[in-house]
A and B are shown apart, each in its own frame.
Chain A
Amino acid sequence: MFKRKKDKDKENKKASGVKGILYGMALHGSVTAFLRTRMYMEHLFMLMTLGDMLGFPVIPPYYSLRLLPYAVPNIKSWKARLFRERDFTDMFTG
């Protein structure tokens, strides 16, 4: 019984390997491009709504504060992404 389970795990691993390769070849680039598009839109949204955190007050603080609880989970990664220097060689894949 145990051996059978082990064999099955091995088979699953092989299948996920082949599936992973096909996914990597066909879709991974698409998925990351899509994520990047979403990232730029989120940057824009965050800058408009919480721009005062970066020194760009765009909308009155009242609305920023109302939106703050919803934006909190994204703030750390947003700042990290926004402040990271991007070189021309980083734009290679779009």
Chain B
Amino acid sequence: MSDVLSTPSLWVLGALIAYAFTYFVYSKWVDEKVWEVSADRTTPAHMYMDGVEFFPVSKSVLWGFQFKSIAALGPILGPFIAISYGWLPALIWIILGNMFIGWAHDYSSIMISVRNEGRSMGPLVYQYVGGDRPRTILLGYLLFYLLIISAVFIYLIALFWNVFPGTFLATVIVFIAALIVGQMLYKYQMNVYTVTIFAIIMIAIAVWVGAAVPWPPKDFLGPDYTMLTWSLILAVFLFFAALASMPTFITPMNFISAFPAIGGVIILIIGALLTPLTGISLGQPSIGKFDVLIGNIGPGPIFPVLFVSIACGAVSGWHSLVGSSTTAKQLDVEIDARPVGAGAMLTEGLLALSALAAYMIIPAGSDVFQKGKVAAFVTGAKELAAAYLGGEAMLPFWASFFALFLVIYAFTVQTLVTRYWRLVSGELFTGSLSFLGNKYIATIVGLLIPILFALSGSWLNLWIYFGGSNQLLAGLALFLTAIIVAKMKRPSGYVIGPAIFMLIVTISALGWETYLYAKKVMSYLQTGDVNVLFANPPLKNYPLAAFFMNVVFVVIGIILIGLGFLMAYYLFKSYSAARSEE
């Protein structure tokens, strides 16, 4: 027994049982007792069917769509930060976060839209939280949120290209394959099975090239300019992706990336469950050092950093945008909301578990952790996969596969974010600022600001800003649900508790990160030493610019906290009013 406990297997199995309980018991109770779902109630997909945005789709299709839309780097890289506190706190948060908050958030975001004519977050906030001002606050909040997501993802993709030589070539092959797939599907209307086989072959070639041709080498332009160069190259790709029509690049890219994305998760989960047979044991301590837990060293104090670091693996505000803007409009019957919303979220919890298992097996004190490298995921994942698929000879192949896996997860989301920024800019900037709404200018602005952000601070700091703002959005969506449920005179406890918890956690996390930047700014003002600032090369060579960017992050932190408080105030007011309504 102790042998089994010293592998990730039983822990992963325990989490699977907890998820099964959540799905079959708790979520079912909420579904039946709170929302009183009925297959006979007409959904917006039928009521407003237009064959484009509103049309009924089967639950399996919608589940696949929802999962692919919500799964990104959060559950994969988040556990990397969380494991600094030991794997046990990370595992507990992944399990409890999913059980009590994550699924409730995703499912409810779909239900509030379904019960309100398929409206998305903006109109729902307008309707239930008091008109135009809260809606404008939400818009302002989203703009900062998009910039921070972009900064994190651009930085990470550039980092993956740099630290995994060969991944860039593999990515380019996937890009070319996506363009060809787009033509095959839409121009030549070829059979989907043929296109799928072509896509899978191209991915295999990409992975093989990534493993066989490790070029260009790490830091090929020196430590100062390599990351900047990769970021700019990525920006060029993103610029064209965001401007091209969806079927030209973005949707074929999503198509082609679906296969390694889901394949990778399955390979990892099986690998983790087979660890008692493959002989892989836990390498990380269950609880981290005291100094790390209280934040003297490492990413920050366990509260609140742990809760925002795992991001989408436990709960994510991004999901409420997906659920209310698209999924709810295509839900065939209300009873499908649980398998689609809760089911997809719990599956994302599985993704977080599989990533955590990959980190758990890395030996304590290993280089990949000591140097704080994101390569840790690939190190653990390739071991889990090679242990039962090909042995040591396949290690380079799996390393290339999982590096590409990371890039693909980040890239598919980032193209959508860049495009969304462009569309929102077009709507938002009118009158004398209409030039900012121009599609070329909007896209360039939506890429350059994040690159500037990415050059200052480490990815860890950016990640906590991202996690904080992302989960604050989740808290706001949960609060909005509580208002709607209270107006329905149904028990709102299942969302109001998590909503308040998320608001406290995220505002604390944003406050912590803002404090860190403010401390750096103050230190610089006292010492004049650029090394005390959060700044990556080449920004570090320009002290005033580095100082300015640190000040910008303090301001952004204050704005995000301010907008979060304002929104929470309006939501709480509306919630109290809804509760006191006769």
Contact of B52 among A16, A39, A87, A88 (CB under 8 A): A39
User: Are B322 and A16 interface neighbours, CB within 8 A?
Assistant: no
Interface size on B, residues (CB 8 A): 55
Question: Which A residues contact B (CB, under 8 angstroms)?
Answer: 16-30, 32-39, 77, 80-81, 84-85, 87-94
Contact of A20 among B64, B246, B428 (CB under 8 A): B64
User: Are B245 and A37 interface neighbours, CB within 8 A?
Assistant: yes
- Chain B residues near A22: list those with CB within 8 A: 64, 258
CA distance A93 to B254 in the complex (A): 12
16 new A-B contacts, CB < 8 A, other than A28-B61, A89-B120, are A17-B60, A18-B60, A20-B58, A20-B61, A21-B61, A24-B60, A25-B67, A25-B68, A28-B62, A34-B186, A34-B251, A85-B123, A88-B428, A90-B122, A92-B120, A92-B321
User: Are A35 and B64 interface neighbours, CB within 8 A?
Assistant: no
User: Are B52 and A36 interface neighbours, CB within 8 A?
Assistant: yes
Which residues between 245 and 272 of chain B lie within 8 Å of chain A, taking CB atoms?
A: 245-247, 250-252, 254-255, 258-259, 261-262
User: Are B258 and A88 interface neighbours, CB within 8 A?
Assistant: no
CB-CB contacts of B55-76 with A at 8 A, as 1s and 0s?
0011111111111110000000
B253 nearest in chain A by CB position: A30
What are 11 A-to-B residue pairs whose CB atoms are below 8 Å? A16-B60, A20-B61, A30-B247, A35-B52, A77-B51, A84-B48, A87-B119, A88-B139, A89-B122, A92-B120, A94-B420
**Is B335 at the interface (CB under 8 A from chain A)?**
no
User: Are B246 and A37 interface neighbours, CB within 8 A?
Assistant: yes
CA distance A89 to B126 in the complex (A): 12
Given contacts A36-B52, A93-B326, contact A29 B68 (CB under 8 A): yes
User: Are A94 and B246 interface neighbours, CB within 8 A?
Assistant: yes
User: Are A21 and B326 interface neighbours, CB within 8 A?
Assistant: no
User: Are B67 and A92 interface neighbours, CB within 8 A?
Assistant: no
Question: Which B residues contact A (CB, under 8 angstroms)?
Answer: 48, 50-53, 57-69, 119-123, 126, 138-139, 142, 185-186, 192, 196, 245-247, 250-252, 254-255, 258-259, 261-262, 321-322, 324-326, 416, 419-420, 423-424, 427-428
- Chain A residues near B63: list those with CB within 8 A: 20-21, 24
User: Are B61 and A88 interface neighbours, CB within 8 A?
Assistant: no
**Counting chain B CB atoms within 10 Å of each CB, which of A32, A38, A80 scores highest?**
A32
- Chain B residues near A24: list those with CB within 8 A: 57, 60-68
6 A-B pairs closest in CB distance: A24-B64, A20-B60, A30-B251, A87-B122, A33-B246, A24-B61
- Chain B residues near A25: list those with CB within 8 A: 64-65, 67-68, 258, 261-262
- Chain B residues near A16: list those with CB within 8 A: 58, 60
CA distance A34 to B259 in the complex (A): 21
CA distance A53 to B120 in the complex (A): 29
CA distance A80 to B59 in the complex (A): 25
User: Are B58 and A29 interface neighbours, CB within 8 A?
Assistant: no
User: Are B258 and A87 interface neighbours, CB within 8 A?
Assistant: no
- A-B residue pair count with CB separations less than 8 angstroms: 140
- Chain B residues near A84: list those with CB within 8 A: 48
User: Are A26 and B254 interface neighbours, CB within 8 A?
Assistant: yes
- Chain A residues near B419: list those with CB within 8 A: 94
- Shortest A22–chain B CB gap in Å is 7
Contact of A80 among B50, B420, B427 (CB under 8 A): B50
Contact of A92 among B48, B139, B185, B325 (CB under 8 A): B325
- Chain A residues near B428: list those with CB within 8 A: 88
- Chain A residues near B69: list those with CB within 8 A: 29, 93
User: Are A88 and B65 interface neighbours, CB within 8 A?
Assistant: no
- Chain A residues near B262: list those with CB within 8 A: 25
User: Are B420 and A26 interface neighbours, CB within 8 A?
Assistant: no
B181 nearest in chain A by CB position: A30
- Chain B residues near A32: list those with CB within 8 A: 52-53, 326
B126 nearest in chain A by CB position: A87
**Counting chain B CB atoms within 10 Å of each CB, which of A23, A25, A39, A81 scores highest?**
A25
- Shortest A40–chain B CB gap in Å is 10
- Chain A residues near B64: list those with CB within 8 A: 20-26, 28
User: Are B61 and A89 interface neighbours, CB within 8 A?
Assistant: no
- Shortest A7–chain B CB gap in Å is 20
- Shortest A54–chain B CB gap in Å is 17
B135 nearest in chain A by CB position: A87
B185 nearest in chain A by CB position: A30
- Shortest B424–chain A CB gap in Å is 5
CA distance A87 to B247 in the complex (A): 23
Contact of A91 among B50, B67, B254, B427 (CB under 8 A): B427
Given contacts A88-B424, A89-B122, contact A30 B61 (CB under 8 A): no
CA distance A21 to B340 in the complex (A): 11
- Chain A residues near B261: list those with CB within 8 A: 25
A81 nearest in chain B by CB position: B50
CA distance A80 to B420 in the complex (A): 24
- Shortest B51–chain A CB gap in Å is 7
- Shortest A11–chain B CB gap in Å is 15
- Shortest A31–chain B CB gap in Å is 8
User: Are B322 and A91 interface neighbours, CB within 8 A?
Assistant: no
- Chain A residues near B51: list those with CB within 8 A: 35, 77
Given contacts A91-B424, A92-B321, contact A27 B246 (CB under 8 A): no
- Chain A residues near B424: list those with CB within 8 A: 88, 91
CA distance A90 to B63 in the complex (A): 19
- Shortest B502–chain A CB gap in Å is 19
CA distance A81 to B52 in the complex (A): 9
- Shortest B351–chain A CB gap in Å is 13
- Shortest A29–chain B CB gap in Å is 5
- Chain A residues near B59: list those with CB within 8 A: 20
CA distance A17 to B246 in the complex (A): 27
- Chain B residues near A92: list those with CB within 8 A: 120, 321-322, 325-326, 420
A76 nearest in chain B by CB position: B50
CA distance A85 to B185 in the complex (A): 32
- Chain A residues near B255: list those with CB within 8 A: 26-27, 30
**Counting chain B CB atoms within 10 Å of each CB, which of A16, A19, A90 scores highest?**
A90
User: Are B48 and A30 interface neighbours, CB within 8 A?
Assistant: no
B247 nearest in chain A by CB position: A34
